[in-house]
Structure 1
Amino acid sequence: MVTIANREQLTVSDRVMDTMFEPIRRQFFKNVQFAEPAGDPGWFGPGSAVWYVHSHLPTFQIGLSAAAMMETLHPTMAWMGYEHTRAIERRNGVPTGNFDDKGMSSRTGHSVAFFLGVTMGPTAVAEQVCRTVVAMHDKIEGVRPDGHAYRASDPELLTWNYATQAWGLAAAHTAWHPRPLRGERLEQFFREYATMGEALGAVDPPRTQAGVMQLLEDWAPYMGVTIPTVRYLNPLAPWRYPVYQRPLYALVSWAVQDLHPQWAKQLMNTPQYTPAGRAARRRAMKALLNSMGTGQIREVRQAWARTAGKPAAVAV
């Protein structure tokens, strides 16, 4: 039986993170376990850059948020999300502009279970969650308002998804992680992450940071802001929240968009500040994220213990 660190060894922040994560764990991690079999490295293993990037939950979640926002700049991704996501509240089939709390929780829970399961879970779990997502993609299809048909299993769309995810996770990691990967170790992340892109159906995904950025740049002329992008698919929009919560969400929303390439910032009308203003907001965001202890939840610690591994050396 694989054991993890005693609870007494965890910081207060670690315990708080575990407690906050408990509802997602209880509902969405029932069939996604990380503790066994002992010695199974999964698809990547403890020496991988992928494990290092994914193991810090705060920056990992910011990266996924940045990727999700970037994805919705693709008109097909935006309308597909609008028509098929369970996160949007609907009355008589018509979106209200509000999120369905249960649907939003479900989407978040399944996303985290998938990304952590495929990257840090044992081999059987990684294969299982990939099969589940591929099967789900095979069932999603429709037609945009302009008559353009789409399929979630379209290799072109899946390659775009891969690029946004690889970019978003690496950008958030580089900007906000307390000890980010640099140079060759960061390039290792892109080489490794392409494995997951291919498993989901991406075709010849770029395996370098430059290649990923070039793919996003090549697609920029085809991107745009549609109604779903701004009205339905942005859970960080400050106007969704009570007045007293808006300053926090305004900071987080800006920090997510601040990671974007300049063309995406222009499309999203990202607030522009002076250099001093940007620096102050970046310091505030980094302090917020790094107040969360090691950033590792129980499942991450179980993965390290399963392989008797230690975080790989980082070139800072």
Structure 2
Amino acid sequence: MILLPHQLLGEVLNQRFDKTVRANYFRGMEFAAPVGDPGWLGPGSAVWHVHSHMQALIFGLQCAAFMERLDPSIYWMGMHHSRLVKRDADGNAVPEIDPEGAAVRLGHSVAFFIGTAFGSTETAERLARTVRAMHHTVKGTRPDGARYDADDPEWLRWNYATVVWGLATAHELYHPNPLRGKEIDRYYREFTRVGIALGGTDLPETKAETLECLEAYLPKLAVTHGTAMATGPDLPLPHAALNWAIRDTMPKWAKQLIQHKDPNIFERTARRAMVWSVINALHLVQGPIPEYKQALARVKGGIDPELAPHTMPTYKPGDDPVLSRDEVERMFV
């Protein structure tokens, strides 16, 4: 069979994704079984619709990451605990993104949000346990003396709000069939299932509540050194184009914080059209993700009531065993 150019491109992109992401970060995740298990959310959910568009999902994760690091504590969590930043010969963190570390972070994130959406209930629960275990180890002190703790309910709420906002906003702007109004609010409500499983409490449940939650943190936010270095007009292409598209999604107050100014309506519309074309061209040539197709097949004959205890998470803060950093690292292998 002779492949057309767009089909050939899709094959190349999918093979690359299989090699760099699925082979490394989707190990042990089950999507095809057990038959009749709806997982955490199930077919017909808003989350299934939103997360089935892999390219918009990945863009949304970038938007969330940009927003969340406006919190200085998250910046220092990354500097002290993450492979996301470069390190000098003495092991000290440098406020620059390490490309290899960024790829690892993105791979884990994509696996988590695909696995919790389309994976079996056991797969989703295991992914949540793994992420919680990592959060339990992220505690420390900023250079200004302020303490940070990734299990702090206030931090969890901020982190959750940035993620659900980033994914939903990317969907609204760049999905070919976006949810609107009450339907996008249904996504926000469903997604609390994930936030609660990670230990979140008092989470926003609608778009309006999420935007209000984010803005309420403004007195605690700041442009850190790392954020300042990662934005602005002097970035090289294609980083500058991606960076603009991410900043374009932000609420007005967040744009003011980073001194981002929107272009005129015609230029902004043209830029968004270009981004829409790129994201959806990639989605078109790559086709539906296999995890989505496997999940559909898993529940095609109906949902088994014995396999559907998934309406609310079973985790309560404090339930997890205390693990060392080395033990937690092994959970990701």
Same fold at TM > 0.5: yes
**Aligned 8 A contact 2:139 2:148 in 1:** yes
Tell me the alpha carbon deviations over residues 86-144 of structure 1, each in whole angstroms, 9 at most, x when there is no partner.
Answer: 12121212234444343222211111111111122110000000001111111110101
Q: 1:302 maps to what in 2?
A: 294
Give the aligned partner of residue 289 of structure 1.
279
Q: What's the CA shift for 1:271? A: 4.6
User: Structure 2 vs 1, CA of residues 210 and 97 (structure 1 numbering), >3 Å: closer, same or farther?
Assistant: closer
Q: How does 1:177-188 map to 2 (within 5 A)?
A: 177-188=175-186
Q: How many angstroms apart in 1 are the aligned matches of 2:46 and 2:192? A: 12
After superposition, the Cα gap between the structure-2 partners of 1:166 and 1:111, relative to the gap in structure 1 and judged at 3 Å, is same
Q: Label 1:308 to 1:15 Cα distance change in 2 as closer, same or farther (>3 A).
A: farther
Residue 248, structure 1, aligned to residue 246, structure 2:
no
5+ residue gaps in structure 2?
303-333
Pick from 182, 191, 194 the counterpart of residue 193 of structure 1. Answer: 191
Matches within 5 A, 1:163-174: 163-174=161-172
Give the match's secondary structure for 1:150: strand
Deviation at 1:238, TM superposition (A): 8.2
Distance 1:61 1:197 in 2: 18
**8 Å CA contact 2:39, 2:120 repeated in 1:** yes
> Contact (CA 8 Å) 1:18, 1:298: kept in 2 or not?
no
Checking the alignment, whether the CA contact within 8 Å between 2:79 and 2:95 is kept in structure 1 is no
SS of match in other structure, 1:290? helix
Name the structure 1 match of 2:200: 202
Q: State how 1:1-316 maps to structure 2 within 5 Å.
A: 14-22=10-18, 23-91=20-88, 92-231=90-229, 234=230, 246-294=236-284, 296-308=288-300
3-state SS of the aligned residue for 1:105? helix
| More off after superposition, 60-69 vs 92-101 | 92-101
Alignment check: 8 A CA contact 1:238 1:253 kept: no
Structure 2 counterpart of 1:264, which letter?
A
Letter in 1 for 2:14: D
Q: Tell me how far 1:47 sits from its aligned partner.
A: 0.8
Q: Are residues 296 and 249 of structure 1, via their aligned partners in 2, closer, same or farther at CA, if it must alter by over 3 Å?
A: farther
Query: Take 1:127 and 1:224, find their aligned partners in 2: how far apart are those partners?
Result: 34
Aligned counterparts of 1:301 and 1:13: Cα–Cα separation in 2:
21
CA distance in 1, matches of 2:233, 2:57: 21
TM-score (norm 1): 0.86
Quick one: distance in 1 between partners of 2:76 and 2:94?
15
Displacement of 1:13: 5.8
CA distance in 2, matches of 1:15, 1:303: 22
2:43 partner SS = coil
Q: Greater CA deviation, 221-230 or 47-56? A: 221-230
TM-score (norm 2): 0.82
Q: Distance in 2 between matches of 1:76 and 1:270?
A: 22
The alignment-based identity, stated in percent, is 43
Question: Which amino acid in 2 is paired with 1:15?
Answer: E
Contact between 2:53 and 2:283, CA under 8 Å: does it hold in 1? Answer: no
Distance 1:95 1:149 in 2: 18
How many residues end up aligned between the 2 structures?
295
**2:16 partner amino acid:** M
Once the two structures are overlaid, the 10-residue window that deviates more, 30-39 or 62-71, is 30-39
Question: Any idea what SS the aligned residue of 1:292 has?
Answer: helix
CA distance in 1, matches of 2:239, 2:297: 35
Question: Residues 154 and 40 of structure 1: is their aligned pair in 2 closer, same or farther, counting only changes over 3 Å?
Answer: same
Q: Are the aligned partners of 1:13 and 1:293 in contact in 2 as well (CA < 8 Å)? A: no
| Contact 2:56/2:174 (8 A) holds in 1 | yes
Structure 1 match to 2:313: none
Give, as a single letter, the amino acid of the residue that structure 1 aligns with 2:266: A
* C-alpha spacing 1:33/1:180, structure 2 compared with 1 (3 Å): same
Structure 1 unpaired stretches of 5+: 1-6, 241-245, 311-316
My pick for the range that moved more, 187-196 or 292-301, is: 292-301
Q: What residue identity is the alignment partner of 1:62?
A: F
2:95 and 2:135 map into 1 onto residues whose CA distance is 25
Q: Are the equivalent residues in 2 in contact too, given 1:238–1:249 (CA < 8 A)?
A: no
The separation in 2 between residues aligned to 1:165 and 1:98, in whole angstroms, is 22
Flag the 1:271–1:183 CA change in 2: closer, same or farther, 3 A: closer
